[in-house]
Amino acid sequence: MRLIHGWGINDADYLVQPRVDGKRIMCPFYRSWTNMVQRCHDGKFSERRPTYIGCEVCSEWKSFMAFRSWMKTQDWEGKQLDKDLLGDGKLYSPETCCFVEGWLNNLFTDHGRARGEWPVGVYFDRHAQMFRAKLKTHGKHQHLGYYDAPEEASSVYRATKLKHVQELMADYPDQRIKQAVLKKAQELYT
């Protein structure tokens, strides 16, 4: 058995990338595991995505089959592996990971490069020579107004974002995830 990304062990008792009708198909459990291992143990990946520098996978999940056993107990189909909501954002483990919808996985994305030096949700509009607050909801940008100072725009953005998160999570079925999202929103936006 060779190491996957120099760290993980593929100890599968089945073919994880079989050929079906001449095409190689990757097992969804294996795909999720290798992507996770790559984020933490592939130096070239870290160069492209520096936010993963310092992230780790728990020693139990060095074994693919251990990760697969855990994943099979989760509601994972059509969802993405997340380490940020239940943990500190640096450790992949059974206690700190869950599977969430793509929109939820991206709910707290910072977009630091796009906005530059301003707070989240605030952009300087050169044409208006004012600070603009905007929020993306349901795939569309919502204009929240123009303001003289970035702090004003940020305050409006944070209040609107908090309300938006609360509305999104009102009927969310997994209470553990719901509470973690609402707690994180309170920390970030109040």
Instruction: Find out whether 36 and 8 touch, Cβ atoms under 8 Å.
Output: no
Closest residue by Cα to residue 120 from 108, 129, 130: 108
DSSP code for 63: B
CA angle 134, 117, 151 (to 5 degrees): 55
Instruction: Find out whether 57 and 37 touch, Cβ atoms under 8 Å.
Output: yes
Closest residue by Cα to residue 154 from 108, 186, 119, 189: 119
Which residue is associated with the tokens 């943990």?
87
Q: CA torsion 119→122→104→140, rounded to 10°?
A: -170
Distances (CA, A) of 40 to 23, 85, 92, 148, 177: 28, 18, 9, 42, 23
pLDDT tens sequence for the chain (190 residues):
689 999 999 999 999 999 999 999 999 999 999 999 999 999 999 899 998 999 999 999 999 999 999 999 999 999 999 999 999 999 999 999 999 999 999 999 877 766 679 999 999 999 999 999 999 998 899 999 999 999 999 999 999 999 999 999 999 999 999 999 999 999 999 9
Q: Which residues pair with 99 in a beta bridge?
A: 81
pTM: 0.89
In the chain, what are the domain boundaries?
A: 1-100, 107-190
